[in-house]
Structure 1
Amino acid sequence: MRSLNWLATRNGRVSAFFFLYLAEGLPLGFAVTAVVTQLRRQGAGAAEIGAFVGALLLPWALKWAFGPLIDTFAIKGLGRRRGWILASQVMMALTLIPLMFIDLPTQLSLFSAVLLIHNCFGALQDVAIDALACSTLAQSERGVASGAMLAGATLGQAIGGGGVLFLSGFTGFQPTFLFVAAAILLVTLFIALPMKEAPADAPAALAGSRLSAAVTALHDSAVMSFRSLLSTRGAFAGMLFALLPMGAMCLGLTLQSNLAVEFGLKDDQIGLLQILGTVVSVATCVLGGWLSDRWGRRRAMATFIALTSLPVGWLAWEMQGYGWVMPRPAGTSAAPASLIAAFLVACFFYAAFQGLVLSTRSAIFMDVTDPRTAATQFAAYAALANVATALSATWQGVAIEAWGYPVTMTVDVVAGLLCLLPLAFVSTPRTIDAEVTGDGGAAGRARKLALALGVGCLAWLPAWHASAQLGALLPIANTFFSLVFVCAALFLFAGTPLLGDSTVLRRSRWLGLALLAMELRRFAGSSAGGMQGLAGVPGLALDVYLYAVPLLAAGWLSALTRRPQLTQGRGQRPVSVGADA
């Protein structure tokens, strides 16, 4: 077995990355399609399922943080990247086994926590595979290898989702955990284990602690990402574009599985729907890239985004006409055959249009990426896009229970069109100099971003004070403010280091940690009178914290905008604050 080295030949390398990405797609398809279908069939609510999927996607939004870890450490004797792949795949398989013994949906929180750990190893594996691809693939191989990776990930999702649903009809659902774990281990045994990295591909000797070096590299990567995202108007618009949902998204998330169960589709029918939709999406991915090269990137993307609205809007209209508004328990009422037909048609057209969007999105991110920081900046865009997907899954689950399907789908259509605003400003630098030094407007963009985040933090105060009046809208508002607090914290971590002032850096980091801790509010009950407390912390103290931290953050972000050299990095010439975007 160990005499076979997949990395020794061109065909071997392409095949290896196909199967490695297949192992990566398996658990994702399993969780988002197969597990979600079973949760809905067993009575879990749309909000629970939305929060479940949103939490599972978070490790993929943070996978950029694994890069410095993989670059700094290596498992002795296994290779710099291969060791991480082997360890990640084994842990992915092992963390699936305990899930067989967790009762759903009564222990959904425990199930979600274990699956979240599983997805952390999945994201770690993804970063290690990409790093291995960059170091082993020749320039002439990268195009076909990228296509093989996409095909492998898509096939893995289809097997883990639709394939598992087919299998569950014969074995029941619990044994399918073993099937997914065994499939991952087969790739480990026959692909990852026989691979051999070049002997020279080993971590360089580092002075001092490797952990300290990894933390420093993570810090530098965050600062570099921040600087590159502000360097040109196109890069900044690309950041806003990535943070917004790119077209209607609900038929690509949990809403499709919810409706399939409610309409009475069997597991094998849902599996077939998912597999065929995946095939259609892969085919249109190729078409979307080809069309965007000929029509122009922005024109093609705007067209494709608008197209995703059509099947979602049409299905919302049909459901409203049939009176299928609020979620219904599976099996309690039969859906008309014509409504099921409309659902299937909408799903297939949506899959086709989503494939067009996905391929063009990657091309747009490449267009606005600075060649000097290509890996860092592109990874940042991908991470922000994953954040948008996770938040969409979360708020849509809450909205389905609060508003019903037609209204949620209509809001999804409107929200999906908002990304057309920053898309209008997404463009490549006009000059070669702009690619290297930026266009001179980074300071103005940083000021505006700090002000916007400060206003967002300030808006939390009246929203939380009126939380009792918000009622069912409170979870949706919470999702929005979570995005504000996380973005503000990232700004304080990665933006203020460019000031070069140690006092400012230290205070910003502490305030950033306090903003991240605002997420603890989700684990404490609330009432019209305030918080009920958390882990021994009195409710009054927690209430004071929830008012004081956003207020301090708003004031601090406002103060940062008045500093004379907001985006000056060490060793760089000062940048005028008066420069505009």
Structure 2
Amino acid sequence: MMIDVSRKSWIKYFLFGCLYFSFGLNVVFLNLILPLYFLNQGISPALITVLISVVSIPMFIKFVWGGIVDYFIRFGRKPFIIAGGLLTVVCLFILSFLNPGNALLPFAIIDFMSWVGVGVLTISLDALVISTTGETERGKINGSMYAAQNVGLAGGSVLLPFIAKTLGYNMVFLTAGFIILPIVLIPLIFREKKIVKKQQKVGGLLIQEFKKKTILVIAIFAVLVMMSSGMILLIAPIWMDTGLQLDITQVGIVTMLFTIAIAIGAVIGGVLADKLGRKTTLYILISSSIFFTVLLVFANSWEYFSLIYCIIGFLQGGYTSPVVAIFYDVTNPRIAATQYAIFISLFNLGITITETISGPLYVLLGVSRVFLYAAWIFGPALLILYFIRLKKNDIH
């Protein structure tokens, strides 16, 4: 007998949390394993950030996967969640047999395909979340999902570097694949309530939604709000390796603490978003992030760097939950996969833009300038946040 995913809250938390845990494990590769693996193979930091940005392109073209998922909505979201997860697992197994030092192009292509799988899985899951949750629980649901993602990231940040150091990088991909495989099969035991029985025209509804001024302002905000995170994302492990002289397991431990802080922040941010409102929570947490990001400039020891870095992680988790809750609030459930995919694609695009330029900036200007720019970029985001005015007819 299959379990109805919409019947009880704990079922939603379990299913959504497990799948986002697997997503967090995948993120370890972008944030930690690949930068250090490529450094180990003699690839320069400037090229590393560009390569990682390219393989993560599927995460900021989620509107493509969302459009496909919505077009075939009569099949539900579950088949796409499972298919995306299995594609990722197969690619991880293939990557375990490739070495970027002498097969960089094939490695990048297979890694790109693995992120296609991740993109399909996550956007299908997000659409399922939107269609099975109400406005009053979305902050908490999103906070728990983001926390589960960062538990996966934290655990992976300790386990995978340890495997890389003791057994080699190839075993890292193989191990991750075997961990993720049973997780992506969990949806098989759940029953999903379908929204409509026939194919629907997504384009008309989508145009109607994006004609709204509030939706357009939120779309601009989506690009700006995570640019600071993107600026720091890859530079932090590179700086810990080359500047603070930490080895891969030590970098992994600091990254684990950072992601635990994000997970805690995500839960607290989600609760605050439901209690204080989305905008008030964002003003408090983003303003605090500016102050602590500037302090990274003065972090000359690994202890001080780790402390400030973890505080930034807590604040990042905190402001991400209300941002995504806003996306959920204004997304039309009938085109949930497509509309939400556009928001999250813009969200990821902001990360990717600054992630791509962070390596060249690090080489040309030094780490202090990178951290200063990461603090400065919050300014435009706060300005656009002021113009977001959510009305009752904007919320679904």
Q: Could you say which TM-score interval applies, normalised by the shorter chain?
A: 0.7 to 0.9
In structure 1, how many angstroms separate the alpha carbons of the residues matched to 2:281 and 2:143?
21
- Report the counterpart of residue 564 of structure 1 in structure 2: none
Instruction: Tell me, in whole angstroms, the C-alpha distance in 2 between the residues paired with 1:193 and 1:403.
Output: 51
Aligned to 2:124: 128
2:190 is matched with 195
Please state if 1:184 is matched with 2:180: yes
Give the Cα separation in 2 of the matches to 1:196 and 1:177.
Answer: 31
- For residue 171 of structure 2, the aligned residue among 160, 172, 175 is 175
Match status 1:163 vs 2:159? yes
CA 1:23–1:66: 2 relative to 1, 3 Å = same
- The answer (yes or no) to whether the contact 2:138–2:325 under 8 Å persists in 1 is no
Q: SS at the partner of 2:169?
A: coil
Indicate conservation of the 8 Å contact 2:232/2:371, yes or no: no
Q: Matched residue of 1:411: which SS?
A: helix
Q: From the CA coordinates, give the structure whose radius of gyration is larger.
A: 1
Corresponding position of 1:204: 197
Q: Distance in 1 between matches of 2:206 and 2:356?
A: 26
* Match of residue 255 from structure 1: 235
User: What code does the residue aligned with 1:396 have?
Assistant: S
Partner of residue 314 from structure 1, selected from 278, 282, 295: 295
Is 1:87 the equivalent of 2:67?
no
3-state SS of the aligned residue for 1:175?
helix
In the TM superposition, what whole-angstrom CA distance separates every residue of 1:4-42 from its partner, at most 9, and x where no partner exists? 657496344432332222223222222322222222343
Higher relative contact order (CA 8 A, sep 6+): 2
Q: 1:423 aligns with which of 369, 374, 385?
A: 385
2:21 paired with 1:25 = no
In 2: Cα distance, 1:371 partner to 1:5 partner: 25
Moved more, 291-300 or 382-391: 291-300
Q: Partner amino acid for 1:239?
A: A
Whole-angstrom distance in 1 between the partners of 2:81 and 2:293: 39
User: Aligned partner of 2:61: which letter?
Assistant: L
Give 1:195's aligned amino acid. Answer: F
Pair 1:247–1:102, CA change in 2 (3 A): closer
Which of 389, 401, 416 is equivalent to 2:351?
389
Deviations 1:26-78 (A, max 9, x none): 22222322222222343322222211232233212222222342244489xxx
1:357 alignment partner AA: Y
**What code does the residue aligned with 2:69 have?**
I
* Long gaps (5+) in structure 1: 207-212, 319-337, 437-581
Matched, 1:241 2:234: no
Q: How many residues align?
A: 392
- Are 1:74 and 1:83, in contact at CA under 8 Å, matched by a contact in 2? no
- 8 Å CA contact 2:96, 2:173 repeated in 1: yes
Partner residue of 1:354?
316
Aligned equivalents of 2:220, 2:140: Cα separation in 1? 31
- The equivalences for 1:20-419 within 5 A come to 20-73=19-72, 80-134=76-130, 145-189=141-185, 191-197=186-192, 201=194, 204=197, 217=202, 220=203, 224-232=205-213, 234-246=214-226, 248-249=228-229, 252-262=232-242, 263-291=244-272, 297-318=278-299, 339-365=301-327, 369=330, 375=336, 377-419=339-381
- The amino acid across from 2:197 in the alignment is A
Corresponding letter in the other structure for 1:416: F
Shift of 1:104: 2.5
Q: Given that residues 140 and 274 in structure 2 are in contact (C-alpha distance below 8 angstroms), is that contact kept between their aligned partners in structure 1?
A: no
* Percent sequence identity over aligned pairs: 22
CA RMSD of aligned residues (A): 3.3
Q: State the TM-score, normalizing by the size of structure 1.
A: 0.60
1:253 and 1:393 in contact (8 A); partners too: yes
204 and 399 in structure 1: CA distance in 2 versus 1, 3 angstrom threshold: same
Give the whole-Å Cα distance in 2 for the aligned partners of 1:373 and 1:203: 8
- Deviation track 1:93-148 (CA, whole Å, cap 9, x = no partner) reads 11112212322245333322211111111111122223444556689986765444
Decide whether aligned partners of structure 1 residues 14 and 29 sit closer, same or farther in structure 2, where only a CA change above 3 A counts: same
